[in-house]
Structure formats: C-alpha cells, structure tokens
A and B are shown apart, each in its own frame.
Chain A
Amino acid sequence: MPNNTAIYGSQFWMQFQRKFVNWSLVRKILSMAIFILFWTILVQFIDYFHQIPTPKAVFLAIFELPVPVVLKNIGISFFRVLGGFFVGVLIGFPVGVAIGYSRILNHLIFPSFEMVRPIPPIAWIPLTVLFFINFESQAIFLTFYGAFFPIVYNTMGGISEVDICLPRAAMSFGVGKKLMLWKVILPAAMPQVFTGMKLAMGFAWILVVAAEMMSNKGGMGYYVWYNHAVMDYPHVVLAMGIIGLCGAICSVGVGVVGNYFTRWQRFV
C-alpha cells in the first residue's frame, strides 16, 4: 500500500509539473536573477568595476528621477525619430517602388545610391549643420537619412523577389500594368517592406541618440551624456534603459502596423 501511494505521488507530481510549471519561463526568470546577481557581485567585489552603479543603485535612482524633465526629453526624441521616420517612409517607399518596378529607373538611380550608401549616416552631421539652420531640422534630416536606405532597399528587394507566377496569373485575368502594382506587386512585397521599416526605426534611434549626444539641444541622448558629464552613473544606466524601452515601443508599433498589412502571413 505505501508503495502504491509513493508511485501515485510521483505521478501526481509529474502531472503537476507538466500542467503548472512552465520550465521555459522559470529559466527565463532565473536567467534575469543570475544576471542581476552577477552584476552586483562584479561591482561589489572587483575593484576594477567599482565605478559602475549596482543594480540596487539603479533601482533606487528610479525614485529620484526628475520625471517632468525626462518626459520632456522623451517627447523631444520621439518627435525627432518619428518625424524623420515618416519622412523616410514618405520618400523612401515610392522611390523603392520605382526602382524595384521600373528597370530603367533602377539603372538610372541605383548606382548613385550604391555610391552614397557606404558613408555612415553619422558622418553627414557636419554637412547637415551647414544646410539646416535649426537643430530640429538637422536631427530630423539625420533620422530621415538613417531610415531612408533600409526602406528603399527592402522595398526594392521585396518587389524584385515577387514570384513571377503571380503577376503572370494576374496578367491572364486581364489586369493592366497600372493596376498590377496595386493589386499584385505591392501586396506581395509587403512583408519585406515592413522588415525594412523595422530596421529603419532602429537606425533612426541610433542616429537620434548620437546626434543628441553631440549637441545640447535636449532629447534622451543629451540626457545620457549630461548625466555622464555630472558623473551620475545610476541615471546614465536608467536613461539607457528608457531609450531601449522607447526603441522597443517604436519597433513593436511598426510590427503591429506590419501585422495588419500582412495578416495573411500569420497562418504560415
């Protein structure tokens, strides 16, 4: 009898595990705990890292956060990123469609793009300062420039990789050249267009942070650099986290819009 219950007990435990313990989640939480522990130990016991704030200090810094200032800076950065991004979409998407769809335009435009593209967008900062008088337009130009090429290249790639059968079938059904773009080519290229937009959003954030770090016109990049200058490192780490969060929100936003436009892909 006791033997039996033991067996029953172990079976019960196994079923319980299977039903209620999500090992994947446990490991994920565990990994975070280990990370924080490791960080603390590193900072506390190894002299070399003593300047780096402990997790505890970062956590406590949350309560000292000058909320209105940070919110204002977040707003400024968001404005610059989204402004540049939307201009990038408005210009980059049609250009990508044009050079993806028309072979002549491709031959005419693509080589000059290839020539300019290897220059890192950041290196344009001095020239943008020459061209645009106020900082907002400079920052928006930079984020636009960062977003432009990912969008153009992915739109073009998406269009050139459409399965030839689809436009052929549409042609047979009597779809003309103009309607072809709307009815067949663009829907088929949509997934890759949104891959490009996600990348573009990432680049826009990198550029905005870099540009803000180099000037004193506000924004989260400036906030990080300011705290670095006054050696308030817990706030530096906190600000990094906030920037990361903002970037993640933007990327998720693009993802949600993308999912709407490519909803048929959900079932693949």
Chain B
Amino acid sequence: MANAKQEALELVFKQPTFVSKVFSQKTILNTISVVSVFVVWALLVHFQVYRFSLLPSPAEVLEWGREWVTTKVFWIDTGMTTARVLVGVTAAYVIGIPLGLMIGWKKVFSDLSFPMLEILRPIPAPAYLPIAILLLPWQEASVAFIPFIDALFPVLLNTIIGVKLIDRDYFRAAQCLGSSPRQIFWHVVLPGALPSISSGCAIGMGIGWMGAVVGEMITGKWGLGYRIWESYILLRYPLIIDGMIAIGILGFASSKLIRYLTIRLVPWRKAITESLDESITK
C-alpha cells in the first residue's frame, strides 16, 4: 500500500501540467505587476492627479511611438547612439581588460597605476565632458568619451577583482608544471578572471548607455538623448517617453547580449558569474 502511494506521489511531482504552470502564483503576480504599471499610469493621467495632467497617456505614447519608428530621424538617432556606445564601451574593454589583468597579476603594475586610477575614479563621467570636447573637437565624437569613462572603471575593477580572486594554488600548479610567465598569463590569469570580466563587461555596457545619453543631452545634435531633450523643449511630451523606452530596450538588449556571449566563453563557472553580477551591479 505504502509503496503504491509513493509511486503515485512521485508521478504527480514529475509532471507539472501546462495549466498549473501558466496559472501558478508567480506568473499571475508577475502579470499583475507589469500590467499595473500601465494601468496606474493611465488612471493617473485620466483623472489628472497632481501634475499628471501634463503627462501623455500610454495610448498617446504608443501612437507617437508608432509614427516615430517609421521616420528616418529615429533610425539615424538610434544608429548614432548605438555607435557611440559601441565605440566608447569597446574602447573601455580594449583598455580596461588588459590593464586590469596586469594590475591584478603584477604588484609592480598595480603600484605604478593604482594611485592615478584612484584619483581619476571618483570623478563622475559627465565632468569629463569639457576635456572630451577639447580632445575630440568634433562634437559627435566627443560624446563617445563619456560612455568610455563610464564603462572603463567597472570593467577595470571587475577584472582586477577577478584576478585577485584566483586561487593562489592555480599559479603554483602552473609553475610546478613548468609554465612560463606567458603561459601562466594565457592559461591561468585570463581564464581565471573571465567570469568576473564578463560581468564587468555587462555592467559597463549598461552604464555606457547612460553615459551616451548624458553626453547627448548636454552637447549633442543627434542621438536618442538629444531627441529626448529636443522633445522636451518643443513640448512633444509623448516623444520623451518613447525615447526613454527606446533607450531602455536597447540598453537591456545589449546587456543581455554581452552576458549571453560571455557566459558562452566561461561555461565552467556560470553560477558564479551570475552571483557576482548581482553583488556588483546595481
């Protein structure tokens, strides 16, 4: 009797049905959560609570957005912002990762570069804008400097932490097996730090978008950030929100893409990458 009961019990647990999955507490609550944002927004606008009367309703935003997407301006703006983010963030990767690896690995490098970095790090990226304009006088390029600065420090610090967290025994094992410093770099330092580097890259990408928007709002003539600012000045409020949504989607997608690519590079420590992410990102 007992056995039969247990077998039945196992079977029940083995197959969660489609219906139970869809109507689980979690999915229901999640749906409520997402839908309620729009509902509350629409209601606040509709009943003109406080200054919400100034805000466009979700329907308006959708309508303007649909139109905006078909215009050429939208695609130029999107391309412009994306290009800046990509240039800036890639530059941050190219400089940040090797520098971080060397700083984390060799004490000499860390001594030589850390004081400077510690001085430069607390300066918020927008404050670099005047210098960026001096260095890269053509306006559209100078904006790319902000995502670069924004992304550089997360990438650099994550790389350094990644190297520092490598177990000392790996280095000793590699030395015992007769590795040259160069082999140690390629076979211990780089792969060992990869999980941390990958999360640094994802964070850098996320913050890079913020940097590009800041730069464009302050001194751009093109780009999604500038378009938001222009819509504000021209009182085209629905476009402001459309611009925010467009940036949000692009930033989210690019972060996810980087994470996906880098996790493929480090299949052996997926779990750790994810947990590190959560502790280091916002």
Contacts and interface: CB of A to CB of B under 8 A. Distances in A.
Contacts, number: 182
Contacts of A124: 244
B213 A244 contact: no
B94 interface: no
Contacts of B30: 107, 110-111
B33 A30 contact: no
Interface in B14-39: 25-26, 29-30, 32-34, 36-37
Contacts of A89: none
Given A120-B251, A130-B51, A24 B37 contact: no
Contacts of B206: 118
A161 B113 CA distance: 34
A192 B279 CA distance: 7
A51 B134 contact: yes
Given A31-B115, A52-B134, A120 B29 contact: no
A8 interface: no
B54 A209 contact: no
Nearest to B210: A120
A90 interface: no
Contacts of A121: 210
B191 to A, nearest CB: 25
Interface string B133-159: 111000000000000001000000000
Interface size class of B (residues with CB under 8 A): 35 or more
Main secondary structure of the interface of A (DSSP, over half): helix
Contacts of B162: none
Contacts of A31: 111-116
Interface of A: 23-24, 27-28, 30-32, 34-35, 49, 51-52, 104, 107-112, 115-127, 129-131, 149-150, 153-154, 157, 161, 192, 195-196, 199, 202-203, 205-206, 208-210, 213-214, 221, 224-225, 227-228, 233, 236-237, 239-241, 243-245, 247-248, 251
9 contacts: A32-B115, A35-B116, A108-B32, A118-B255, A119-B247, A120-B210, A205-B124, A210-B214, A233-B130
Given A110-B33, A131-B50, A221-B126, 16 more contacts: A30-B112, A52-B135, A104-B25, A109-B33, A111-B30, A111-B34, A118-B249, A126-B231, A127-B55, A129-B232, A192-B279, A224-B130, A233-B130, A244-B119, A244-B121, A244-B127
